[in-house]
Structures are given as structure tokens and as C-alpha cells.
């Protein structure tokens, strides 16, 4: 399912227009982004937890030339599914 599929599913489930459902989906996604930035994590009980992960700087290798390069430290988003979500897809 892509974003448009999610909007269509929300519109059908809530009996709202697609435009309204699109605003709802955008608001939820924006709230998750803001929560990640502010609190470094968002926990949705039964669904899962989004968390901010730090990657340390490390040495890497350019596969084309074999040259050693330095890869900068970065941030990444992790997701750990909740029990309800795990059980629903088994």
C-alpha cells in the first residue's frame, strides 16, 4: 500500500471525502515527524514504536575504486512493531 492507498482506506473507513482523509493522513504523518524531532521517539501502543538511532562515523570502501573513504555520522529512524501488529500479520 502506498500513501494514496492509505488515503483511500482512511476515506472509506471514516466515510470522509478523499480530500479530508488526505488532510488527516498528512496531519498524522506530520505529528509523527514532529514527535521524532522533539522526543526522539513515538510510541503507538499496539502498532509499534518509531525511534531515532545514531550511526557512528566509520571507514568505508568505494566499491568502484577500492579506495577507503570516511563515512560521516548520521541519524536514522528505526521501527519496532508492537505485539498486535506482529500477531495480525502472522
Specify the CATH number for the domain of residue 50: 4.10.520.10
The alpha carbon dihedral of 13, 19, 23, 25 has a sign of: positive
pLDDT over 90 percentage in the chain? 93
Are residues 83 and 45 both part of a single domain? yes
Count of domains in the chain? 2
What pLDDT was estimated at residue 40? 85
Contact predicate 52/36, CB 8 Å: yes
Whether 13 and 48 share a structural domain? no
Range of the domain at 21: 1-35
- What pLDDT score does 39 carry? 83
Across the chain, which distance is largest between two alpha carbons, in Å?
Answer: 57
At residue 27, does pLDDT exceed 90? yes
Q: What is the rounded average pLDDT of the residues 39-67?
A: 93
Which of the four pLDDT bands, split at 50, 70 and 90, describes residue 72?
Answer: very high
Residues 44 and 27 in one domain: no
- Give yes or no: residues 22 and 2 share one domain: yes
**pTM check: above 0.85:** no
* 30 and 44 co-located in one domain: no
Amino acid at each position: 500500500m502506498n500513501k494514496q492507498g492509505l488515503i483511500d482506506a482512511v476515506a472509506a473507513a471514516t466515510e470522509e471525502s478523499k480530500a479530508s482523509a488526505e488532510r488527516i493522513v498528512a496531519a498524522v504523518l506530520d505529528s509523527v515527524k514532529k514527535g521524532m524531532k522533539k522526543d526522539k521517539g513515538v510510541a503507538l501502543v499496539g502498532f509499534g514504536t518509531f525511534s531515532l538511532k545514531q550511526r557512528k562515523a566509520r571507514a568505508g570502501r568505494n566499491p568502484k575504486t577500492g579506495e577507503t573513504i570516511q563515512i560521516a555520522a548520521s541519524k536514522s529512524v528505526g521501527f519496532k512493531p508492537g505485539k498486535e501488529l506482529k500477531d495480525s500479520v502472522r
